[in-house]
Structure 1
Amino acid sequence: MKTLVALEIKRTLRNKKFMFFTVIYPSALFLMIAGTAGRTALVPHTDLTMPLYYTVAMASFGALTAALMGNSERIAKERERGWVRQLRLTPLPGRGYVLAKIAAAAVATLPSIVVVFAVAAVTKGVRMDAWQWFALTGAIWAGSLVFAALGVAIGYLATGDAVRPLTMIIYFGLSILGGLWMPTTAYPQWLQDIAGYLPTHAYAALGQAIEVGDAPHARDIALLAGYLALFAGAAAWLYRKDTRRA
């Protein structure tokens, strides 16, 4: 299994197009969105400045991209080409393939997080204590496992032709409604109520709590844990279903 994990990580890091969208794209969005905002401009109804808000939002968006987009499409394509069927003929346990995909996605999230942090510090003067930077990195990285599990589930649910449009709908829907592209305080109240139950909203809230010096809220942690159990359970069920079909 270690060999497959190493192979998956190398394949991910060598994919220049994928690494562009997971590393450069979130940082470019940060510059476009937060670049015109003043360093002291506050997000309405919060204690966060716009640069601080988008530091977490874009780092989370980059991690979401790496975890969700990479897994879903790659798994669907490999199922279609018969690669997954070939792996089932080897001694590799079924969970090994899934864990390899999650591990590769987890490694790919770290560069996106670090680059957004560096861009925010250099261009917008974002400053935090050392413990906050480390805590933010850990929280965003750990939270991305929720979306890695979702990516695996989508990869086993969709066909090779349908996986991209399905993933894009979920990807942009979660990003926009969850507050990664703009503060949810700008939404109508009914939309804010819906956003409060989305995994991306709880995901961003982890980092926002750390930015103001607080511990992440128990509700956000519980919500993410629930979604992780849901997505991982769905991925496991779909994997077993796909195995029986093969």
Structure 2
Amino acid sequence: MNKFIFQTKINFKRIVFRNKSFFFFDMLLPIVFYVLYTKILVTGIPASYLKVWNEDYLVSMMIYACMLGGIITTANTLLEDQMSNFKLFVTLSPLSNLQYYTSMAIVLVTLNLVSSIAITVVAIIVNHVTLSIGLLIALILVNLLGTTLLILIGVLISFVKKASTVNLLTNLIVFPLAIISGLWWPIKLMPTWLQSIGKLMPTYQLSVIDKNVLHQTPQHIGSFINLFIWFVIILAILLLASKIQKRKGIVTQ
């Protein structure tokens, strides 16, 4: 246990304190989008709807921040570990692969937690969004549980083993997914066929769950089923890809 805690501390230092880009991409960018879309680009939105818009867009940017941390940061961090032979060092140490990935997951979930809190603080200061402590904790916890799926996607992308391809895939997944899921603007503004696709995405269903928590409205089981199906699919692909790479001798045991 002490070795696991020590490894987790090392991961915090090298991923957070030595990676200044985290503060820009995982925290600052969603905050900028939130301020932009709630204080500047609000022309045509009725004043009576602004309160709901400010709250709903808070949820959207919390999920978007977790996409940046869960997919982009995860994929690039794991790829860097492989290219720098840090993963080999871990393999040769007393820590198992399971402990390595668990330690990484703790760090990455913590980063998502910090991002969620930072955006919430901005929403409270800038738009006077009111949330009780209990409601805030429930919202953040539900959001973090949902975004564990995003971390799995990041792990899967890292299996590509090429920095250029990893960067391409993360961009091709994160930004289009944010758009069609209705995180950047309401999904109702999109064509009907695109709405149908967007509503199948896990990030859209997670936003539905988060908004129901925020507004204290009844949840729909369909959203949870959607996330569970996506979780099973991504996990199955991840396990299959891992077995294929081990069979080819790409992954060091």
User: Structure 1: how far apart are the matches of 2:48 and 2:31?
Assistant: 20
Q: What letter matches 1:88 in structure 2?
A: T
Aligned to 1:22: 26
User: Kindly, what percent of the aligned residue pairs are identical?
Assistant: 19
Aligned to 2:189: 186
Displacement of 1:96 in angstroms is: 1.9
Secondary structure in 2 matching 1:157: coil
Displacement of 1:65 in angstroms is: 1.1
User: Structure 2: how far apart are the matches of 1:161 and 1:17?
Assistant: 18
**Segment drifting more, 109-118 vs 70-79:** 70-79
User: Structure 1: how far apart are the matches of 2:15 and 2:47?
Assistant: 38
Q: Is the 8 A contact 2:152 2:234 kept in 1?
A: yes
Aligned to 1:231: 234
User: Structure 2: how far apart are the matches of 1:64 and 1:216?
Assistant: 23
Q: Is the 8 A contact 1:72 1:152 kept in 2?
A: yes
Displacement of 1:39 in angstroms is: 8.1
* 1:33 maps onto 2:42 in alignment: no
**Segment drifting more, 157-166 vs 76-85:** 76-85
> Unmatched 5+ residue regions in structure 1?
none
Distance change in 2, residues 1:215/1:8 (3 Å): farther
Q: What letter matches 1:120 in structure 2?
A: A
CA deviations over 1:7-36 (Å, ceiling 9, x no partner): 212222211111221112111110011113
User: Structure 2: how far apart are the matches of 1:92 and 1:203?
Assistant: 33
* 1:124 maps onto 2:131 in alignment: no
> Unmatched 5+ residue regions in structure 2?
none
Aligned to 2:49: 42
TM-score (norm 2): 0.88
TM-score (norm 1): 0.90
User: Structure 2: how far apart are the matches of 1:128 and 1:161?
Assistant: 42
**Segment drifting more, 55-64 vs 236-245:** 236-245
User: Structure 2: how far apart are the matches of 1:74 and 1:215?
Assistant: 38
Q: Is the 8 A contact 1:39 1:51 kept in 2?
A: no
**Segment drifting more, 13-22 vs 146-155:** 13-22
Q: Is the 8 A contact 2:138 2:213 kept in 1?
A: yes
Alignment RMSD, CA only? 2.0
Please give the residue correspondences for 1:80-119 in structure 2 after superposition, counting only pairs within 5 Å.
Answer: 80-119=83-122
How many aligned residue pairs are there? Answer: 242
Distance change in 2, residues 1:102/1:235 (3 Å): farther
Secondary structure in 2 matching 1:42: helix
Q: Is the 8 A contact 2:15 2:77 kept in 1?
A: no
User: Structure 2: how far apart are the matches of 1:12 and 1:81?
Assistant: 14
User: Structure 1: how far apart are the matches of 2:246 and 2:82?
Assistant: 10
